[in-house]
Amino acid sequence: MENNDTLIFLVIFDKMCKQAKRSWTLILATLCLAPAQGQLQSELNLPRAGDVIIKQQVEYKDPGRTGENVLWDFSQLDVVNDEYELVYSTPDDTVIIGAEHTTQYHYVLRNDSLMLLGFDNQTTRLHNIQPEVLLKFPFNHGDTIGSYFYAHGKYSNRLELDVMGTTRTVADSYGMMILPNKDTLKHVLRLRTIKYIAENMNPITESYYEKLHSPLNISFDSIVQRLATDTVLFVVETFRWYEKGYRYPVFETVRSWQKYRSTKDYTFLNTAFFYPPQEHYYLDDDLENLALLENFENEKHNEEIDVWAELTYNIFPNPVKSTPLQVEIYLPVAANIRLQMNNTMGNLVLNIDKGHHSAGTYNFQVNMNNLPVGNYALDIMINDKVIKGIVMKR
């Protein structure tokens, strides 16, 4: 982005964020999909016309680590804004429209891939000439999907928009989640989407109408070059958590920042959304997922119970800077807990006995302010079990 475009971008984006209010930022055009732990399937996880989803904006919390048997405890988060609706519809049985707060996002399923075609509202219209690939079916833990994209549009009938970049989604973690309403979900899969955006804004001229009738096709090499050389990029990182038997997500965090080539990044949005499962209006007639939930309940009754199978944990933030390291643990049974930390030379630098605890969820803070910058090996000792992790101090 050229220097004179940077100011325009910041001004316009500020207006867009204010207009969006409790909704996602208008540039953030990504679809809410829902897997179970394991495989995402189109018949279980595609949006359906007529479905109504309730969202609540809540306090932001670090999305936590990547991996297996992760604990996500969002039980202490307060509601920031009242609930509002996300409604899905279709005009022709091919395009899927997700509407929230006067903004409509357009999606299409092509072969096994779900794609974003663009979005529009009262002030902004953006058409993805080269669509974003958001997801493929089937999709399993560890799978990755992404694409280059190019979009053309306008803002307030005054500015021409040219937007290009990359998007990448990975199913990076699974574990247990405690929701803001205190419900516990034990078969949660998390997806991480990272999106890099380069943008031009110029007064509308004849070129705008020429592109409407003869759309450009931008090569992948050109997009890569643009992302590598722009003065500033816009970055959106979205985490979504999905529970088995639900078509749509139950929780989501969004973080957006300006990535500068020569100065420090500037984060301007950290927010989170809770989708109360009991208020998903589609549930009563989602027969495929209801059958999945019923089969899952039957399987649980027939399985032998491993009391330690539900042991989950989380450590954040990582890397640690000025705030304490948070260690969250869900104990399925009573146990003794000890935290030990070693430096790269193998020397013990922290040894904290947390004592005996009954079954439940616990949060322990570890102050690393007196430790030098570097990497540390963390051992979480629970009775005779040891959970190992690496913590970075910056």
Q: Is residue 208 domain-shared with residue 71, that is, in the same domain? A: yes
Spatial contact of 68 and 175, defined as CB atoms under 8 Å apart: yes
Q: Is residue 103 domain-shared with residue 178, that is, in the same domain? A: yes
| pLDDT at residue 4 is higher than 70 | no
Section 246-259 average pLDDT: 94
Q: How far apart are alpha carbons 319 and 390 in whole angstroms?
A: 10
pLDDT in tens, 89-110: 999 888 999 999 889 999 999 9
Section 151-171 average pLDDT: 94
Question: Of residues 253 and 283, which shows the higher confidence score?
Answer: 253
Does residue 172 form part of some domain? Answer: yes
Spatial contact of 128 and 112, defined as CB atoms under 8 Å apart: no
pLDDT of res. 6: 39
Q: Is residue 202 domain-shared with residue 318, that is, in the same domain? A: no
User: What are the backbone angles phi and psi of residue 362, rounded to the nearest 5°?
Assistant: -135, 150
Sign of CA dihedral 120, 125, 131, 133: negative
Q: How far apart are alpha carbons 389 and 366 in whole angstroms?
A: 14
What global pTM score does this model have?
A: 0.85
Q: Is residue 26 domain-shared with residue 160, that is, in the same domain? A: yes
Domain final residue pick, 259, 292, 325 = 292
Does residue 76 form part of some domain? Answer: yes
Tell me which residue range forms the domain holding 385.
312-393
According to DSSP, the β-strands at 95-100 and 103-110 are antiparallel
DSSP assignment, residue 182?
A: S
Q: Which of 74-83, 205-214, 335-344, 357-366 has the lowest mean pLDDT?
A: 205-214
Domain final residue pick, 292, 326, 348 = 292
Question: Does the N-terminal peptide bond of residue 372 adopt cis geometry, omega within 30 degrees of 0?
Answer: no
Q: Is residue 274 domain-shared with residue 386, that is, in the same domain? A: no
| pLDDT at residue 49 is higher than 50 | yes
| pLDDT at residue 216 is higher than 60 | yes
Q: Is residue 97 domain-shared with residue 203, that is, in the same domain? A: yes
Question: Of residues 5 and 269, which shows the higher confidence score?
Answer: 269
Domain final residue pick, 292, 322, 346 = 292
pLDDT of res. 305: 65
Does residue 203 form part of some domain? Answer: yes
We report the CATH number of the domain holding residue 351 as 2.60.40.3080
Which pair of structure tokens corresponds to residue 343? 């430096």
Section 9-32 average pLDDT: 38
| pLDDT at residue 27 is higher than 90 | no
List the beta bridge partners of residue 348.
342
Does residue 235 form part of some domain? Answer: yes
Q: Which residue has the tokens 């899927």?
A: 96
Q: How far apart are alpha carbons 363 and 228 in whole angstroms?
A: 41
pLDDT of res. 329: 96
Q: Is residue 218 domain-shared with residue 74, that is, in the same domain? A: yes
Q: Is residue 344 domain-shared with residue 220, that is, in the same domain? A: no
User: What own/partner pairs with CB < 8 Å and gap ≥ 24 does 6-9 have?
Assistant: 6/231, 6/232, 8/159, 8/201, 9/199, 9/201, 9/232, 9/234
Does residue 299 form part of some domain? Answer: no
Does residue 91 form part of some domain? Answer: yes
Question: Of residues 198 and 305, which shows the higher confidence score?
Answer: 198
pLDDT in tens, 239-250: 999 888 899 999
According to DSSP, the β-strands at 159-178 and 67-73 are parallel
pLDDT of res. 1: 44
Torsion-angle region of 281 (φ positive above 0: left; ψ -120 to 50: alpha; else: beta): alpha
Q: Is residue 201 domain-shared with residue 320, that is, in the same domain? A: no
Q: Is residue 146 domain-shared with residue 191, that is, in the same domain? A: yes
Q: How many separate domains does the chain show?
A: 2
Please list, in sequence order, all residues whose beta carbon lies within 8 angstroms of the beta carbon of residue 207, skipping any fewer than 6 positions away. 160
Q: Is residue 216 domain-shared with residue 124, that is, in the same domain? A: yes
pLDDT in tens, 272-296: 999 988 877 788 889 998 888 888 7
Q: Is residue 190 domain-shared with residue 274, that is, in the same domain? A: yes
Which pair of structure tokens corresponds to residue 45? 């996880």
Section 21-33 average pLDDT: 35
Question: Which of 245, 44, 68 lies closest to 171, judged by CA?
Answer: 68
pLDDT in tens, 113-122: 999 999 999 9
| pLDDT above 70 coverage of the chain, percent | 89
236 — pLDDT class (breaks 50, 70, 90): very high
